[in-house]
Structure 1
């Protein structure tokens, strides 16, 4: 069994950041589809801005996001800092504030997760 934490740090501006997002979603989906694997998809920093965009049914990667949205969470502090706190809450995405308002990467590592950042 593999445990992976896929972290989206890339913001919403630029083609390169879109590529990072898509790679993160595809990676999370691959782990989610594996029968014995566990995956967490964490939107952190500027990456929190993707959640309202991906919740739009007209978004290019809406279906890909929906395939892994149950595994999604977001940094509580960063959702507020990047102005998407309400959109994250409306989407039903759990916010994490384990370490000074942010997700605890140490806890993920301690729990045996491989942390992959995009």
Structure 2
């Protein structure tokens, strides 16, 4: 049994960041599909910009995102800072504001999650 927090901080600009997104989603999917594993998928920083793109059914990565959407959450502060607060709210994705408006990475470490960033 493994516990992983997959954190996507890569923004939407450039081919390399698309690769980081896809690798992060695939990693989260692998944990989600493995019996006994736990996964948290967190979009943080510039990564919050992916939510409106991934919610779009025409996105190349919409289906992959849908496989892990129930495990996804978004940094509350960063969604506002990067201008996607309304899109995140419209999508109904959970926002995290445990530590000064941001997700608490410390609490994940305290709960024995491995932290994996993309």
TM over 0.5: yes
Q: 2:99 maps to which residue? A: 99
Aligned to 1:33: 33
Displacement of 1:104 in angstroms is 0.4
Aligned-partner Cα distance in 2 for 1:112–1:34: 17
Distance 1:78 1:44 in 2: 6
Q: Report the secondary structure of 2:20's partner residue.
A: helix
Runs of 4+ in 1 over 3 A off after TM superposition: none
Question: 1:25-76: CA deviations, max 9, x gaps?
Answer: 0000000000100000000000000000000000001000000000000000
Say what the alpha-carbon RMSD is for the aligned residues.
0.3
Give 1:21's aligned residue: 21
Distance 1:91 1:72 in 2: 11
In structure 1, what is the Cα distance between the partners aligned to 2:86 and 2:110? 31
How many residues align? The count is 118
Structure 2 SS opposite 1:52: helix
Name the residue aligned to 2:79.
79
The whole-number CA distance in structure 2 between the counterparts of 1:70 and 1:87 is: 17
2:112 partner SS: coil
Partner of 1:60: 60
Unaligned runs of 5+ in 2: none
Shift of 1:90: 0.8
TM-score by length of 1: 0.99
Deviations 1:11-31 (A, max 9, x none): 000000000000000000000
CA distance in 2, matches of 1:42, 1:79: 12
